[in-house]
Chains A and B, each alone.
Chain A
Amino acid sequence: MPSDLVHLYMRIDHLPQMWCPGCGNGVIMRDVAQAIDELINDPDERFTREDFVIVSGIGCSSRAAGYLDFNSIHTTHGRAIAFATGIKLANPKLHVIVLTGDGDCSAIGGNHLIHAARRNVGLTVIVFNNDIYGMTGGQYSPTTPTGDLATTAPYGNLDRPFDIAQLAAGAGASFTARGDVFHARETTEIIKQAICHHGFSLVDVYSVCPTYYGRKNKKGDAVEMLKWQQANLIPGARFETMSQEDRQGKKPIGVLTHNDYPEYTDEYLKLIDACRKKGRK
């Protein structure tokens, strides 16, 4: 039975979604819908449904924009953040959420990612990070671990991978966080925080791709892959209490950086005001 979330926030006519059995993307899409639902219904927050815009690029992740029943725009490969920048500048009251993938946002769209982070444009970027190009059938991406197999790395991947959350933090993003598919509740909370953050926010959500990445690299089925997430992706508070030895091979999920920098569109409105006061041509 589909949950209320599906009826409320998804375009029923366009379901079932096209993702493979066991794919983690559906969970992340649900987390996003859940986060928005909770924010809309929170009397302390002032979110309305019509103010949300979902922007996506190209790839498995990006089909989510078509399923979520909001203002949605499915753009070109890599350019979602740049489209989103234009939307946000044109109408700063909108909550612009970019749904993107590891390849979409850190390979072909890497330049837009770091510059949007640097500018602190008020966008929320949710990365559906499955370590592989799924839509085209299993080529290595910028997050595929070194040595792993892909159709374009038949002898093992030589590249060193990006940590997208750290990449964004390094580029000056005011809010960066990590989530995953197994810890859905925690990840939903993180997404809520990211949406509420006034400035550029990025949540790197570890998805699972049993069809291509999992099968190629003998990671087992979806359940096995989720079990791996459970064992190795550790909610931040618990991670803090772990010894250096226990932390080996594990990563914390949760908020990595959270700073209040001036938000770009706010600053631009101030600039317009100052310019008009001067009234000089």
Chain B
Amino acid sequence: MSKAVLMQGNEAAVEGAIAAGMRFFAGYPITPSTEIAEGCARRLPQEGGKFIQMEDELASIAAVLGASAAGMKAMTATSGPGFSLMQENIGYGAMAEIPCVIVDVQRAGPSTGLPTSPSQADYMQARWGTHGDHPVIALSPSSVRETYTLIIRAFNLAEKYRTPVIFLMDEIVGHMREGVELPNPNELIINHRKMSFHDGANKQCYFVPEGEYVPAMKPFGHGERYNITGLAHDQSGFPTNSSQIAGKLCQRLMDKVEKNVDHICRVEEYAMDDAETAVVCFGGGARAVMEAVLQARAEGRKVGMFRPITVWPFPEKALKARLPQLKRILMVEHNHGQMLLEVQRVAGNEKPVDFLGRIDGTVITPEEILNKLAEMEGEHHAQ
């Protein structure tokens, strides 16, 4: 008998997060993410952690930030409508540099939309949902097993860069069950926030040494009385009206992600070495793409898959590196063209970018992708 177990995507998010050291979850029930809250309610007390069902999503993200500030690895999970409600405090987390993971199991919108149907239409909201300019890291898994390992990475990035990380799932992966053989816990790489305790003379709780971007963190109740605020603040953590200090802070917040894109960005490429057509996709949408690419290859067509795993920042370098060999790009996503904008930006006028999207809550099939590819190849031949 195999050692694998049948596991749902949402369940893998719970188990992965626990393996990453998450011990605090605050959330509010919402389809299709509810199994994550249910799983945390059941599993966290067993691990000595805590689950709390808050009164709404505004409270959930606030409690998560509070718990993280007090020293715990913390997470919440939601879907579109709840993700919208959390946006203000996601910005707070970015500004106050409080690590946490926000899982958004995307469903079809806008508004209440189709609560049980898949979508990938929160892609831009993950980047621009909260007000103001701010750094964002977002990761998107395309299988149950990847959900487990990638959410660990989400925590690692949150802890390393002291920032909220969006874990952008979708209903396809969240509600799917697959056989998963979990990695040996001893083989996992788990990062923890850099801490600073009692460093005496240096009371600057947001002090960043020259050449670094991330301040070490002090938790509450460990002997140093410091201040956290969402207002623009100086290195001591107190509000400032100085445009110079505020500008420097905001630049550092952007820099800590932008200067580390090589570490943060991950893509999966399949059959890209000699590909003339790249099909770009992410999350659960990649499953149909993979099948289409295999089929196209079986027919001798030079098609490959380019899948950003880190969806924010968009893995610009990796796609640029492929541009010279490509004749065309097809963006496949379950929305009206969101990652498409990033792909178009990177491709510029160099290569034609076509689009296959879906906003009716159903899943794009491999046949549709193959048809679109045939249509594109025909068009480009004709030119």
Could you tell me the distance in whole angstroms from the C-beta of B220 to the nearest C-beta in chain A? 4
Interface readout for B229-248 with A: 1 if CB under 8 Å, 0 if not?
11100000011000000000
The answer to whether A83 and B220 touch across the interface, beta carbons within 8 angstroms, is no
The answer to whether A90 and B223 touch across the interface, beta carbons within 8 angstroms, is no
For A275, the chain B residues whose CB sits under 8 A away are: 45-46
For A55, the chain B residues whose CB sits under 8 A away are: 66
Q: Given A65-B227, A76-B230, A275-B45: A86 and B64 within 8 A (CB)?
A: yes
For A111, the chain B residues whose CB sits under 8 A away are: 55-56, 58-59
Chain B interface, number of residues (Cβ within 8 angstroms):
44
Taking the complex as formed, is B314 at the interface, i.e. its CB lies under 8 A from any CB of chain A?
no
Q: Which of B30-38, B69-77, B258-266, B344-352 contacts A (4 or more CB under 8 A)?
A: B69-77
Which residue from B48, B74, B229 sits with its C-beta under 8 Å from A272?
Answer: B48
Could you tell me the distance in whole angstroms from the C-beta of B102 to the nearest C-beta in chain A? 14
Cα distance, A279 to B54, chains bound together (Å): 26
The answer to whether B225 and A50 touch across the interface, beta carbons within 8 angstroms, is yes
Cα distance, A66 to B229, chains bound together (Å): 9
The answer to whether B238 and A115 touch across the interface, beta carbons within 8 angstroms, is no
B223's nearest neighbour on chain A, judged by CB, is A50
Taking the complex as formed, is B226 at the interface, i.e. its CB lies under 8 A from any CB of chain A?
yes
Q: Which of A67-75, A159-167, A187-195, A225-233 contacts B (4 or more CB under 8 A)?
A: A67-75
Which chain B residues numbered 48 to 105 have a C-beta less than 8 Å away from chain A?
48, 50, 52, 54-56, 58-60, 62-72, 74, 88-89, 92
For B50, the chain A residues whose CB sits under 8 A away are: 89-90, 268, 272
For A271, the chain B residues whose CB sits under 8 A away are: 45
The answer to whether A53 and B56 touch across the interface, beta carbons within 8 angstroms, is no
Q: Given A74-B229, A86-B74, A112-B55: A50 and B63 within 8 A (CB)?
A: no
The answer to whether A90 and B72 touch across the interface, beta carbons within 8 angstroms, is yes
For B52, the chain A residues whose CB sits under 8 A away are: 85, 89
Taking the complex as formed, is B114 at the interface, i.e. its CB lies under 8 A from any CB of chain A?
no
For A115, the chain B residues whose CB sits under 8 A away are: 54-55, 59
Which chain A residues numbered 87 to 104 have a C-beta less than 8 Å away from chain B?
87-91, 93-94
Taking the complex as formed, is A82 at the interface, i.e. its CB lies under 8 A from any CB of chain B?
yes
Which chain A residues numbered 37 to 59 have a C-beta less than 8 Å away from chain B?
49-51, 53, 55
Taking the complex as formed, is B19 at the interface, i.e. its CB lies under 8 A from any CB of chain A?
no
Which residue from B46, B65, B71 sits with its C-beta under 8 Å from A83?
Answer: B65
For A238, the chain B residues whose CB sits under 8 A away are: none
The answer to whether B238 and A14 touch across the interface, beta carbons within 8 angstroms, is yes
Cα distance, A111 to B227, chains bound together (Å): 26
Most A C-beta atoms less than 10 A away, residue of B67, B89, B224: B67
Could you tell me the distance in whole angstroms from the C-beta of B42 to the nearest C-beta in chain A? 9
The main secondary structure of chain A at its interface with chain B is helix
Which residue from B54, B66, B92 sits with its C-beta under 8 Å from A87?
Answer: B66
Taking the complex as formed, is B26 at the interface, i.e. its CB lies under 8 A from any CB of chain A?
yes
The answer to whether B220 and A91 touch across the interface, beta carbons within 8 angstroms, is yes
Taking the complex as formed, is A84 at the interface, i.e. its CB lies under 8 A from any CB of chain B?
yes
Cα distance, A87 to B64, chains bound together (Å): 8
Q: Given A83-B66, A87-B67, A271-B45: A74 and B231 within 8 A (CB)?
A: yes
Taking the complex as formed, is A7 at the interface, i.e. its CB lies under 8 A from any CB of chain B?
no
The answer to whether A91 and B71 touch across the interface, beta carbons within 8 angstroms, is yes
Cα distance, A78 to B88, chains bound together (Å): 12
Most B C-beta atoms less than 10 A away, residue of A86, A89, A275: A86
Which residue from B58, B226, B227 sits with its C-beta under 8 Å from A82?
Answer: B58
The answer to whether A86 and B230 touch across the interface, beta carbons within 8 angstroms, is no
The answer to whether A73 and B62 touch across the interface, beta carbons within 8 angstroms, is no
The answer to whether B71 and A66 touch across the interface, beta carbons within 8 angstroms, is no
For B380, the chain A residues whose CB sits under 8 A away are: none
For B64, the chain A residues whose CB sits under 8 A away are: 86
The answer to whether A89 and B67 touch across the interface, beta carbons within 8 angstroms, is yes
Cα distance, A163 to B240, chains bound together (Å): 35
Cα distance, A83 to B66, chains bound together (Å): 4
Could you tell me the distance in whole angstroms from the C-beta of B21 to the nearest C-beta in chain A? 13
The answer to whether B226 and A75 touch across the interface, beta carbons within 8 angstroms, is no
The answer to whether A70 and B70 touch across the interface, beta carbons within 8 angstroms, is no
Cα distance, A75 to B52, chains bound together (Å): 20
Taking the complex as formed, is B190 at the interface, i.e. its CB lies under 8 A from any CB of chain A?
no
Could you tell me the distance in whole angstroms from the C-beta of A114 to the nearest C-beta in chain B? 8
Interface readout for A259-281 with B: 1 if CB under 8 Å, 0 if not?
00000000010011001100111
Cα distance, A279 to B45, chains bound together (Å): 10
The answer to whether A71 and B221 touch across the interface, beta carbons within 8 angstroms, is yes
Which residue from B26, B46, B223 sits with its C-beta under 8 Å from A86?
Answer: B26
The answer to whether B221 and A50 touch across the interface, beta carbons within 8 angstroms, is yes
Cα distance, A198 to B128, chains bound together (Å): 42
Cα distance, A89 to B24, chains bound together (Å): 8
The answer to whether B59 and A79 touch across the interface, beta carbons within 8 angstroms, is yes
Cα distance, A268 to B9, chains bound together (Å): 28
For A51, the chain B residues whose CB sits under 8 A away are: 221
For A14, the chain B residues whose CB sits under 8 A away are: 238
Cα distance, A111 to B74, chains bound together (Å): 22
The answer to whether B230 and A90 touch across the interface, beta carbons within 8 angstroms, is no
For A90, the chain B residues whose CB sits under 8 A away are: 24, 50, 66-68, 70-72, 74
The answer to whether A85 and B63 touch across the interface, beta carbons within 8 angstroms, is yes
7 new A-B contacts, CB < 8 A, other than A71-B225, A90-B50, A276-B46, are A71-B224, A82-B54, A83-B63, A83-B69, A86-B65, A111-B58, A281-B43
Chosen A-B contacts, 21 in total, with CB atoms closer than 8 Å, are: A49-B225, A53-B70, A71-B220, A72-B227, A73-B227, A75-B66, A76-B88, A76-B89, A84-B66, A85-B62, A86-B68, A86-B74, A87-B66, A89-B50, A89-B52, A91-B71, A91-B221, A114-B55, A115-B54, A268-B45, A279-B46
Q: Which 3 A-B pairs have the closest CB atoms?
A: A86-B66, A86-B63, A82-B62
A residues with a Cβ closer than 8 A to B are 11, 14, 49-51, 53, 55, 65-66, 69-76, 78-79, 82-91, 93-94, 111-112, 114-115, 268, 271-272, 275-276, 279-281
